[in-house]
Structure 1
Amino acid sequence: MNRKTTVVLALFLSCLVHAQWKPQGDKIKTKWASQVDPAKTLPEYPRPIMERSQWKNLNGLWNYAIQEFGKTAPSKYDGQILVPFAAESSLSGVMKEVGAKNELWYETNFSIESNWNGKNILLHFGAVDWKTEVYINNIKIGSHTGGYTPFSFDITPFIQKGKNQKLVVKVWDPSNDGPQPRGKQVKNPEGIWYTPVTGIWQTVWIEPVNAKSISTLKTIPNLDQNTISIKADVAGATTGDLVEIAVFDEGKEIAKAKAVVGESNDIVLNNPKLWSPESPFLYQTKIRLISNNKVVDEVKSYFAMRKIASKRDENGIVRMQLNNKDYFQFGPLDQGWWPDGLYTAPTDEALKYDIIKTKELGFNMIRKHVKVEPERWYTHCDQLGILVWQDMPSGDEQPLWQNRKYFEGTELQRTAKSEEIYRKEWREIMDHLYSYPSIVVWVPFNEAWGQFKTVEITEWTKNHDPSRLTNSSSGGNHFQTGDILDLHNYPGPEMYLYDARRVTVLGEYGGIGLPLEGHLWRANDNWGYIKFKNENEVTAEYIKYAKILKNYVKTGFSAAVYTQTTDVEGEVNGFMTYDRKVDKMDFKAVNKINTEVIDALNHK
């Protein structure tokens, strides 16, 4: 077959795939929706903090069926779904509700590359919401619960030689009928509540490894000792196996160390380059697993030298510090929703876009609100230079927000099962994201939602990762625990409590609404704490609040979070419309006042 014939055939197959899929519904979409290619869906490497050269993306059109809970595998499927977009999303090509009474079934076939012979094959899922069962060639090989963390299986024993491999996935997600972490998803979305997300919503992929291979990396910088500690967990290791780490500064090797498997490599860096939002320098690394003097695995990674802490300043105020200097953190509440993909950005460019716009607004931080993003999002933050507060996605009973009784110390009595679900997923989230330097604050609870055993959970979080600050309950219920007292106040900034022993922050404020016709998820009943009619009015109100905040910075606030990055479904209080097609404020004016707010502390 000549090259011309090959190109024509490839174009024909691509058109055929496109003909079998199209976005569903008539709701607004981002500009990236038209760039989604079913034959090449989110093709980027999904785990850039631990990268291998060989892998295969399984995203694309799979068969799907929605059927009653408890039924056997479907004999006939309903049609095709574009993985990894949730069934309720437009970009899935399905856009159907699933609900707690049904299960979502997937089926696809994949082949193993011929040069992978003799290798172990790992099957990876970026995230699936919520309870997942996986079958390879009609054998159930494993299961997982949790909607926000990756999981994988060694499928080597179940691979059939010389054949396409059959992969079947079954998912059940009770949405707000269950106690599991779910963020803002509800079966009847309205106001500040959004569409459910069921099933696969991050990349599915396979990779070949040797019987001995690196499974995870844990990186801990120590600025005060100029060291970086890197520990690799290894599958299949035996006595005498070594991990070798080489560190590179812009392509030049500057350090190398070896340690036996199970020990960390503690590498001294002379005059290290520090990471900050103003200068997000990343060291590159190459990690090799050596057995019997042979390299049996190799991954690429990176790290940053940065330190997050708190310290009392000369006025007696406990301040956040970055790299041993007082540092005011200021950013938007970022919920990471998309009108076309729901939890899943249409493309990697789209995923990165919101971070770029946040920097354009002059912010140095993002509060990732009751959602966990795909790993590439955190790498974009590391590379672009933005601090991240990472929320635990809320679950179990919702508080009565209209009462806002966050100071009486009443906690939710969760069932033992609900507690177990929370602890398992929160630990998995922290372990999964541990090595991303952009993350500087963990937030276990938000506004009393599902809040239980606050002191115990906060101390457990702090002990699990003492290298970061713990914000026990953003917006309350408030207990004397953790590193931060976090106040919420809408619409304008207000410091109605102050903690002389901990950092005091304004964890949410703002919510200035501007509904723009042609860019709305729903025609009416849109939500904003206050609403205005045009860009000038909204910008003026934002600047008014920022000037108030600037005074509070001097008297006690060490960070602030404005609601929010974009409109989300019925919420119209974003800097941008939900489809990201319109900037709703004067970004240059916002950048100017944001810089003044940050400089009120950072350059005092």
Structure 2
Amino acid sequence: MRRLDRRLGHSLVAAAAALLVGLAGPAGSAAAVTPPADAPAWHVGIPPLATKWTSKVGPDNALPEYPRPQLTRDKWQNLNGVWEFARADAGQAVPAGQSLNERVLVPYPIESALSGIQRHEDRMWYRRTFTVPKTWGVGSGQRLQLHFGAVDYDAKVYVNGTLVATHRGGYDGFDADVTDALAGTGPQELIVWAEDLTDATGQPIGKQRRTSDHGIFYQGSSGIWRTVWMEPVPAASISGLTTTPDVAGGAVSVSATAAGGAGLRVKAVAKAGSKVVGTATGAAGTELRVPVPNAKLWSPDSPFLYDLQVTLLDGGDKAVDSVGSYFGMRQIGTARGADGKLRIALNGRILFNLANLDQGFWPDGLYTAPTDNALKFDLEQDKAMGFNAVRKHIKVEPDRWYYWADKLGLMVWQDMPAANTGPIPEQWRGQFESELHEMVREHSSFTSIVAWVPFNEGWGEWDRAATGRIADDVKAQDPTRLVDAHSGVNCCNSHGDAGRGDVVDFHQYLGPASPSPSGDRVAIDGEHGGFGLKTSNHMWFGDGQAYEMEPDEATLTSKYVQNQEAVITSAKACGISASIYTQITDVEAELNGFYTYDRQVAKMDLNQVKAINKKIIAQADGSATNVPQPSPGTPGLTGIAFYPLDGTAQDAAGDHDSTVVGGAAFVAGKNGDGVQFDGATGYLDAGAPVLDTASDYTAAAWVKLDRADGGFQTVVSQDGPTNSDFYLQYSGADQRFAMSFAGVRALAPVKPNPGQWYHLAGVRDTVKGELRLYVDGELAGTASACLPQSGPTGHTVIGRGRFGGNPVDYLDGTADQVHLYDRALSADEIRQLYASGS
């Protein structure tokens, strides 16, 4: 079963969760049993780190806020609080009428300190009693709905021994009409069974693991982890509500589903404060268009929200049910900037999405924030630091998190929680897709969500074509938002770009990444940054790491500012229209947050953070950027340097003679002699830079490999301060020829054969912002390389590369007829060069 759609509300204060007052017998009876005097009490655990909210949590105030802000009613009761708890065995009978021997604080996952259990169990029982208020009129025209915000992962729910609900999925809620299972008017027994095998299965888990790896995966969260509550509803009632803004049409579409009757009608009234702005009436289950003339548009700078009242009418136009909600008027799409590149647009205007990565973990509550103020805190800090967006990273939050994003004005990129990093087993793939579409359905009315992200870095991905189909399916389900089929498509376990969705998304640490828009897809930097700092007494394991550790706050802040300045360059030169920095807080062993994991210490100068963030949003606006036009260069096919390698390393075109270094020897080549390299020490050194790497250039050579395995081999390169300015190479990671920058490769489509001569030509084109590789006179691969390069600093070399400050990737094979050009050769010229054999 699935929960109702959630849609605002009013700030309601829940009644304090009742402690156990008795035990109900099996269905059909309501004989109360008084707990023994020596029944165990709940005690909070001791987390490795405490937040400022840890001490504020207790049995009487465990997340008391109304949990469903987009479909509210004024009568409800919170069932959070102390429940009985016990480990469960597979196949064990339901312990109806039996006291369990431990106490747990719901809704904190059992591994968390706040739960009081603080250990993992594969299977578990929860038990408590509840009493239905007599004023609710349940049984005399009113029905009782029981709601679970989320239970990780499989759940069964029993009321007075009767099974009333089963559910699979750790990130979506479910509900049940339990009226017929009630026994009289006294205490009712509620038992929940849950099973969570976490990473032992193919279920979606995000970054949860049963045992933290002290790296990028964290302590799991099992069992009930969102609010449990109940409410009375009429026999004919509103069961779901969806709102979709239509900015161009000056209206909001409202769809209200109803249960319990035929011929029901719906009246929807939109308000701005106390002023009615639009009304529509129609049949339940149909789309109503409520006018919103001269709409106040929602944006991060002005997150205006309209109130919505929806009333269910019977055949005689009598009101039988009413719910409150809200919506924002905004439209997310794309537009071309003055530079001609496709970019993300909000309400028809280009707006750079400057986002923080948010993983949603807490040292005291793990998956569950200790309080609502804590849940809101991270979002408030995002706004205070000048961010206008958040990437909710492979986790789905409680509805109130999205409510606060709506209220505060933050655009949300919503990930689908990943399964394990390897391909999802075939038997779990349907479940993954089902949960993905349920996530979209349940959250389709939150104004803040602007994009759906089905896959991250290939985790769980089993087939590139399937990834493309899934992206198409999500777009068909929700055409009003962007679909980022694959965040980090260039990374890790990715099967490659499926070419689907609205977004080309690269990850690069430290970055930023610099993909370019492609066709009708915008480009974003989906993850970058990751600078870290140790903070004594505020680290989960007492130690940790990041992508690059810094010694102090000043250095960390400086690194952040420099890194974000590069985002502006990437936006202007390459056309990215979003960037996502890692991350808002430390998480367990990851120390790359703006805040420590306990949210107690800010690790950077946040004034400087805000200043650079505001600068990015202001300047990365798609305005035209003047791309310097390269000089025409030296005409002809000889080039500015030509090494025939006929018994000498002299330059036959100029004065860039090379020196033979290490294990290199003249042997029979492609055309006369060539140079054979030993794959370990040998190379040719020109003694100076030959190419101006700030402009266009081409490098060409004949090459014959002695081996083609997993090792990299460089044919021609030019040393930079740390890495080569470029590599004309054999990429061992891909086992293909490539023209590369560090982290960027234009790849040939097939693996070369050892012992066979190939003609390679690598082109750097600054106007098009790309690298091109030609093999045997034909275009073999291209790659976006839009960022400007610095001028030359190191020697041009044949037979090795430079990476991390060290000589690397020595050629194991023979090179001949090496040409260097101070311009980008055309395709026709490269074909002529290949045909000449020179």
State the match for 1:28 in structure 2: 49
For each residue in 1:402-426, what CA deviation from the matched residue of structure 2 results, as whole angstroms up to 9, or x when unmatched?
xxxxxxxxxx4x4442111111111
1:328 maps to a residue whose letter is: F
Q: CA deviation at 1:603?
A: 8.6
Q: 1:559 aligns with which of 575, 578, 595?
A: 578
Q: Show CA shifts across 1:522-544 (max 9, x none).
A: 023x1200111221111000001
The CA deviation string for residues 138-195 of structure 1, in whole angstroms up to 9 with x for no partner, is 1111200000011000001011112201000000011100101100011221211101
Partner of 2:180: 157
Structure 1 SS opposite 2:509: coil
Of 168, 186, 195, which residue of structure 1 is paired with 2:209? 186
Q: Give the aligned partner of residue 470 of structure 1.
A: 483
Q: How does 1:503-542 map to 2 (within 5 A)?
A: 503-524=522-543, 526-542=544-560
In structure 2, distance between residues paired with 1:451 and 1:319: 27
Aligned pairs for 1:341-356 (under 5 A) are: 341-356=365-380
Q: Once the 2 structures are TM-superposed, how far is the Cα of residue 66 of structure 1 from its aligned partner?
A: 1.1
CA distance in 2: counterparts of 1:423 and 1:45, whole angstroms: 29
**1:109 counterpart (129, 132, 141):** 129
1:167 to 2:190 alignment: yes
Counterpart position of 1:59? 80
Using the alignment, how far apart are the partners of 1:462 and 1:557 within structure 2? 21
Structure 2 counterpart of 1:543: 561
Shift of 1:200: 0.3
Report the secondary structure of 1:29's partner residue. coil
Question: Equivalent pairs: percent with the same residue?
Answer: 41
Q: Name 1:238's counterpart in structure 2.
A: 262
Aligned partner of 1:82: which letter?
Answer: L
Higher-Rg structure is 2
| Cα distance, 1:263 vs structure 2 | 1.5
Q: How many residues align?
A: 572
> 1:120-519 maps to which residues of 2 (within 5 A)?
120-190=143-213, 191-239=215-263, 241-291=264-314, 292-395=316-419, 397-399=420-422, 412=423, 414-452=424-462, 453-476=466-489, 477=494, 478-495=497-514, 499-519=518-538
TM-score of the superposition, structure 2-length normalised? Answer: 0.67
> Equivalent residue for 1:408?
none
Separation in structure 2 between the aligned mates of residue 272 and residue 498 of structure 1, nearest angstrom: 31
Query: Which amino acid is the alignment partner of residue 94 of structure 1?
Result: I
Deviation larger for 456-465 or 248-257: 248-257
* CA separation of 1:256 and 1:223: change in aligned 2, threshold 3 A: same
The match for 1:82 is: 105
Given candidates 47, 50, 53, the residue that maps to 2:71 is 50
Higher relative contact order (CA 8 A, sep 6+): 1
Q: Deviations over 1:549-600 (max 9, x none)?
A: 1111112110000000101111111110000000111111100000001111
Amino acid in the other structure paired with 2:480: S
Question: For residues 603 and 315 of structure 1, what CA distance do their matches in structure 2 show?
Answer: 6
Amino acid of the residue matched to residue 125 of structure 2? W
Structure 2 segments unaligned to the other structure (5+ residues)? 1-17, 22-36, 624-838
Deviation of residue 500 (structure 1)? Answer: 4.4
1:568 aligns with 2:587: yes
Counterpart Cα distance in 1 of 2:443 and 2:520: 28
User: Is the Cα contact below 8 Å between 1:131 and 1:173 reproduced in 2?
Assistant: yes
TM-score where L is the length of structure 1:
0.92
User: Does the CA-based 8 Å contact 1:122-1:208 persist in structure 2?
Assistant: yes
Q: Deviations over 1:416-449 (max 9, x none)?
A: 4211111111111111000001000000000000
Amino acid across the alignment from 2:126: Y
Residue 593 in structure 1 maps to residue 606 in structure 2: no
Q: Note if contact 1:487-1:497 (Cα within 8 Å) is conserved in structure 2.
A: no
* 1:47 counterpart SS class: coil
Instruction: Say whether the 8 Å CA contact 1:237–1:261 is kept in structure 2.
Output: no
**In structure 2, do the counterparts of structure 1 residues 527 and 286 end up closer, same or farther at CA, with 3 Å as the change threshold?**
same
Aligned mates of 1:569, 1:438 — CA distance in 2:
28
Distance 1:67 1:171 in 2: 9
- Distance change (3 Å), C-alpha of 1:139 and 1:495: same
Which of 195-204 and 529-538 deviates more?
529-538
Give the Cα–Cα distance (whole angstroms) in 1 for the partners of residues 516 and 290 of structure 2.
Answer: 43
Amino acid of the structure 1 residue aligned with 2:488: G
Q: Take 1:205 and 1:116, find their aligned partners in 2: how far apart are those partners?
A: 14
The corresponding residue for 1:69 is 90
Preserved CA contact (<8 Å) 1:306 1:323: yes
Q: What one-letter code is carried by the residue in structure 1 that aligns with 2:272? A: D
Amino acid at match of 2:168: T
C-alpha deviation, 1:224, in angstroms: 1.0
- AA paired with 2:265? L
SS at match of 2:248: helix
Q: Secondary structure at the match of 2:55?
A: helix
Q: Does 1:40 align with 2:61?
A: yes
Q: Could you report, residue by residue, the CA deviation over 1:344-380 in whole angstroms, capped at 9, with x for unpaired residues? A: 0000000001100000110000000000000011011
One-letter amino acid of the counterpart of residue 129, structure 1: D
- Higher share in helix: 1
**Cα distance in 2 for residues equivalent to 1:307 and 1:133:** 40
What RMSD, in angstroms, separates the aligned Cα atoms of the two structures? Answer: 1.8
* Amino acid aligned to 2:77: K
Please say if 1:578 is aligned against 2:597.
yes
Task: Tell me if structure 2 keeps the 8 A contact 1:445–1:472.
Answer: yes
Q: Which moved more, 1:256-265 or 1:380-389?
A: 256-265
Whether the 8 Å contact between 1:192 and 1:527 is mirrored in structure 2 is no
Structure 2 distance, partners of 1:28, 1:307, is 41
Measure the CA separation in 1 of the matches of 2:219 and 2:53. 20
Q: Is the 8 A contact 2:526 2:580 kept in 1?
A: yes
Instruction: Give 3-state SS (helix, strand or coil) of 1:434's partner.
Output: coil
